[in-house]
Amino acid sequence: METLSIAKSFEGTQGVYRHRSDACQCDMTFAVFLPPQARERPVPLLWYLSGLTCTHQNVMDKGEYRKAAAELGVAIICPDTSPRGDDIPDEKDNWQFGSGAGFYLDATEVPWSANYRMATYVGEELPELVAANFPVDMNRQSIFGHSMGGHGALTLALKNPGRFKSVSAFAPISRPMVAGWSRPAFEKYLGADEAAWRAYDSVALIEDGHRVPELLVDQGKADGFLDDGLRPWLLEEACEKAGIPLTLNMRDGYDHSYFFISTFMADHIKWHAERLS
């Protein structure tokens, strides 16, 4: 593991790191913020998964998470959203597929299956690396994310009961199997058999019996992707039928941007910290 940068922030440290990924068969970059409490003891870990077109850098620069994380003694890890490199297959003119759009799934279709294995990377490989190199308590993990990353956070939590103490999302893609901006990517990554898609769709997972103790979702009412891509009411209906407590905050005037995320970031970190304590 190579350290790319270290900076002091709110008495903690913001680091950026690079390593060779066996899952994705390329170099991967991720960011970790360690609060000042990590100098004395292992601290709980909160995963943040970013959305389409993003890298680890977007939330690190615009997410405004470090002050709350330092005050509450929580480490924040921000992985990349896809494999990257000149040798990685891509559709350079398609922002909804390929580089920056890994959808936190393991592709099964050639040529994507060789590298686009983000479910294994985020769910297995990166946690092992983090546990071996940082003073974090892997028995106290939670997860959240934005948009495509909200989809990833929900699906990982639903498929790994007991691993995460809590899960939340900003404007998640609630039903990617049917959403206009994710359905084409699912077909390219996973093939034409829609039965295979259900493992990466939050509503389908809930329908199929997967559960989490509770959910927190924030969604902007002025989000331009609300009707075609996000559809939080589908998640709300699935949670109601399954008996999963869902707090869905529909925020007047807020869009899909980091202005929205940064406004409610501290609320989410506090909510997770309470469940990690």
What's the pLDDT score for residue 60? Answer: 96
Question: How crowded is the C-beta side of 224, counted as CA atoms within 13 Å?
Answer: 1
To the query of whether residue 223 is one of the catalytic residues in this protein, the response is yes
Predicted pLDDT at 11: 98
Mean per-residue pLDDT, 189-204: 98
Dump pLDDT digits (tens) for 8-60. 999 999 999 999 999 999 999 999 999 999 999 999 999 999 999 999 999 99
The DSSP bridge partners found for residue 3 are 17
Q: Which of 147, 166, 168, 202 is catalytic?
A: 147
| Phi, psi for residue 96 in degrees, rounded to 5 | -100, 10
Residue 168 has pLDDT above 90, yes or no: yes
- Amino acid identity of residue 179, one-letter, is A
Q: Is 147 a catalytic residue?
A: yes
Q: Given this model, what pLDDT does residue 131 score? A: 98
Q: By C-alpha distance, which of 183, 139, 176 is closest to 41?
A: 139
Say yes or no to pLDDT of 81 above 90. Answer: yes
Report pLDDT for 181. Answer: 85
Q: List strand residue ranges (DSSP E) for 50-207, in order.
A: 75-79, 136-146, 164-170
Domain boundaries, position 139: 2-276
Gap between the Cα atoms of 269 and 275, Å rounded: 10
* Mean predicted confidence (pLDDT) in 177-190: 95
Question: What CA–CA distances, in Å, run from 165 to 70, 175, 212, 226, 276?
Answer: 19, 23, 9, 28, 6
Using a pLDDT cut of 90, give the percent of the chain over it.
99
pLDDT digits (tens, 9 = 90+) for 102-161: 999 999 999 999 999 999 999 999 999 999 999 999 999 999 999 999 999 999 999 999
**Banded model confidence at residue 217, pLDDT cuts 50, 70, 90:** very high
Is 99 annotated as catalytic? no
> Which CATH number belongs to the domain containing residue 202 in this structure?
3.40.50.1820
| Sequence letter at residue 230 | L
Q: Spot the catalytic one: 90, 201, 218, 223.
A: 223
Average pLDDT, the chain: 97
CA-to-CA dists, residue 143 to 197, 265, 269, angstroms: 22, 13, 10
Tell me how many domains the chain contains: 1
Question: What pLDDT shows up at residue 215?
Answer: 98
What is this structure's pTM? 0.97
Which residue is catalytic, options 56, 146, 151, 256? 256
Query: Is it the case that residue 193 has pLDDT exceeding 90?
Result: yes
